[in-house]
Amino acid sequence: MKHDEVIKAIDNSVRSHPQIQALFLSGSHGNGLADEYSDIDFIMITEDGASDEAVEIWREAVSQAGEIVLWWHRTVLINAVTADWTRIDVLILKPDQMKTQSQSDLKPLFDRDGIYGNLPKVPENQGPNRARLKYQIEEFIRILGLLHVGMGREEYINGVLGIFHLRNLLVDLLIEETAAPNRGGVLHLNRLITDEQKELLLSLPPATPNREALISANLAYAEAYLPRARKLAREWNVEWPERFEAATWDKLEDSLNITRPDNTD
């Protein structure tokens, strides 16, 4: 089924139950950024929230879109995949749990009690998340420091996981640099970062499970990440973990004879 057909089928099924107060499209279908590869996100409102009855109503509705081959029920969030690999997610909320939502991120399908009209038009600007940036900087340095453990144990196969984590932290940093709204899921990177940032990511070495390649890749990511993270930390007034970083480079020099690159300051 096409997305609009899925949405119509689910809408028709859910609205036939008068105890469901509202149904909204959220995510990329709610803010108008959906494409043919997007999942379909909903918010369903009922007085009792994610009760057994509400969950059963939702399962019945999703089944109208096709055979359900994956069903994850996580308290108020349900993730489903149908046989044609349509991904359908829902948050089942009580009316008072809608306070964090905004009109710009939702498209009402039906709204019996006028909930949508009482929401702010756009999300409140929360400003930079300094605590998150501080954690991510420290996490990058921590993973970099674990290089001496992996190399000491000759854990080259699992050593590639460290590169994976460093890359994820670099990608998060690049997105923060652009301050892109409506980030969406992990497979929306192309519209979130600049051509220069894409070239940086493409230039970095792959995670190859041998000692020399892993050391080189860790250093390449450090040279890419740390100067940019320092710049953003200054802009956001986030304290840099100077002592932790210095101790990490000292350990890498003592254990692996790695000299700190000049351009990581």
Tokens representing residue 247 in the block: 């101790």
Contacts of 41 (CB under 8 A, 6+ apart): 25, 26, 27, 28, 29, 30, 89, 90, 91
For residue 236, the number of C-alpha atoms closer than 13 Å in the C-beta half-sphere is 22
Average pLDDT over residues 55-77: 97
CA 39 from chain centre, in angstroms, equals: 14
Pick the CATH number of 130-264 from 1.10.20, 1.10.3470, 1.20.950, 1.20.120: 1.20.120
The pLDDT-based confidence of 180 (bands split at 50, 70, 90) is low
SS3 39: coil
pTM for the predicted model, two decimal places: 0.80
Contact 239, 134 (CB under 8 A): yes
Q: What is the architecture of the domain spanning 3-118?
A: 2-Layer Sandwich (3.30)
Residue ranges of domains in the chain: 3-118, 130-264
**Amino acid making up residue 58:** W
Q: What is the pLDDT, as a whole number, of residue 35?
A: 84
Say if residue 8's pLDDT is above 90.
yes
Quote the strand ranges of the chain, DSSP E: 20-26, 40-46, 68-74, 77-82, 87-93, 107-111
Average model confidence (pLDDT) across the chain: 92
Structure confidence by residue, pLDDT tens digits, 123-155: 876 678 899 999 999 999 999 999 999 999 999
Question: Rounded to the nearest 5 degrees, what angle is found at the Cα of 40, between the Cα atoms of 30 and 75?
Answer: 100
Structure confidence by residue, pLDDT tens digits, 75-124: 999 999 999 999 999 999 999 999 889 999 999 999 999 999 999 998 87
